[in-house]
Amino acid sequence: HPTLLQPYSERAKTATHPLSRYLFRLMDLKASNLCLSADVTTARELLALADKVGPSIVVLKTHYDLISGWDYNPQTGTGVKLAALARKHGFLIFEDRKFVDIGKTVQMQYTAGTARIIEWAHITNANIDAGKEMVRAMAEAAANWKARIHYEVKTSVSVGTPVAGQFEDGGEENNNATDDDRDADGRKGSIVSITTVTQSFEPADSPRLAKTNEHGDELVFPGIEEPPMDRGLLLLAQMSSKGCLMTKDYTQACVEAAREHKGFVMGYVAQEALNSAPDDNFIHMTPGCKLPPPGEEENGHVEGDGLGQQYNTPAKLINILGTDIVIVGRGIIQAADPPSEAERYRRKAWKAYLSRLG
């Protein structure tokens, strides 16, 4: 498929989802196709790890429900702190929630409840065993969220995480909101002044680049501004575990659902590339990735974890199986020095991508 031989910078131009376009550009800019699976046990460790490994990664994957001490406060909690680190380092947050239920229930689980995942996770994923209607339900929830965020940005009515952001039109301050604007619940808002952030991906040596963003966060990659105010879904098309019951038909149903919801589905969590129609440009993220210890053959066999997890090397996943982003958890977290191990994974995975391009 053409996307296998296309640089990420090219795919950034044709991807249909705004977050995919952003992510492909981020990958190109940071020379990284690495996602860290931040499966640590406490919120404190999670934030420290995200800050240390941030420069090497383009996606940080979470399982919020295995983190103790997760602070649910919508203004100051763990999600908000992660979002600030994501802005600082330039990565997207992916909550590996694997939603699976009827449409109405997943809408509620996605947007409300304790964790309010939609507020802080740019990306989440779904198992479509329950049928692809639930993808439409999640897309609808995301569209409503976006409309609400835009309303909140326009006015000072704040019902959730205060997210300063940009307007789709890239406009300046919003002058259309009036003191009489009310939200869906009849609450009255007043105008606040919002300056929008223009996404810029300038060369790192550009003199115009700011060192901080409008939140005062230090920008490690100053060319990166905030991601678009969108939410994206990955379909769980294939899993890495031994004896996985997902059939070819199931995987094919994921491909169909992705094509039907291009504005919301960014791509897949899969073990191989699934783009097949001429204009498919979905992104593939792949867990079950580990390198043999330094010094050993990088195409060598890597043992599973004894609990069903199976591993492939970045070279095999990216160069041979054609996926785009490798997801690494214990390979990095359990290393003596996670930041330098993350760099080793980043270099190997990027090298595999470059050799795929030929």
The answer to the question of whether 309 is labelled as a binding residue is: yes
For position 328 contacting ligand 5BU by CB under 6 A, the verdict is: yes
Site string for ligand 5BU, 46-65 (x = CB under 6 A): -----------------x--
Residue 25 annotated as binding site: no
Residues numbered 240 to 269 that lie near ligand 5BU (CB under 6 A) are 240-241, 269
Is 98 one of the catalytic residues?
yes
Q: Write the DSSP string, 185-217.
A: T--B--B---PPPPP----TT-TT--SB-TT--
Q: Does 288 bind ligand 5BU (CB under 6 A)?
A: yes
Size of the site for ligand 5BU (CB under 6 A): 17
Q: Which range in 7-15, 105-113, 314-322, 329-337 contacts ligand 5BU by CB under 6 A?
A: 329-337
Q: Which residue is nearest to ligand 5BU (CB)?
A: 329
- How far apart CA 319 and CA 111 sit, in angstroms, is 37
Q: Torsion angle, CA of 332/334/337/339, rounded to 10 degrees? A: 30
Q: Determine contact, residues 99/106, Cβ cutoff 8 Å.
A: yes
280 labelled as ligand-binding?
A: no
Task: Give one word for 344, left, alpha or beta, with left for phi > 0 and alpha for psi -120 to 50.
Answer: alpha
In a 3-state reduction of DSSP, which class is residue 358?
coil
Active site residue 96: yes
Under rule CB under 6 A, residue 239 binds ligand 5BU? yes
Least spacing, CB of residue 261 vs ligand 5BU, in Å: 19
Catalytic residue among 51, 52, 101, 217: 101
Determine if 174 is a binding residue for ligand 5BU (CB under 6 A): no
Pair of tokens at residue 320: 């041979």
The yes or no reply on residue 189 touching ligand 5BU (CB under 6 A) is no
Contact 169, 145 (CB under 8 A): no
Residues in contact with ligand 5BU, shown as a per-residue x/- string from 65 to 104 under the rule CB under 6 A: -------------------------------x--------
Q: How many CB atoms lie within 10 A of CB 121?
A: 27
- The total of other beta-carbon atoms located within 10 Å of residue 334's CB is 9
Supply the residues annotated as catalytic.
96, 98, 101
Note the residues at the interface with ligand 5BU (CB under 6 A): 37, 39, 63, 96, 236, 239-241, 269, 287-288, 309, 327-331
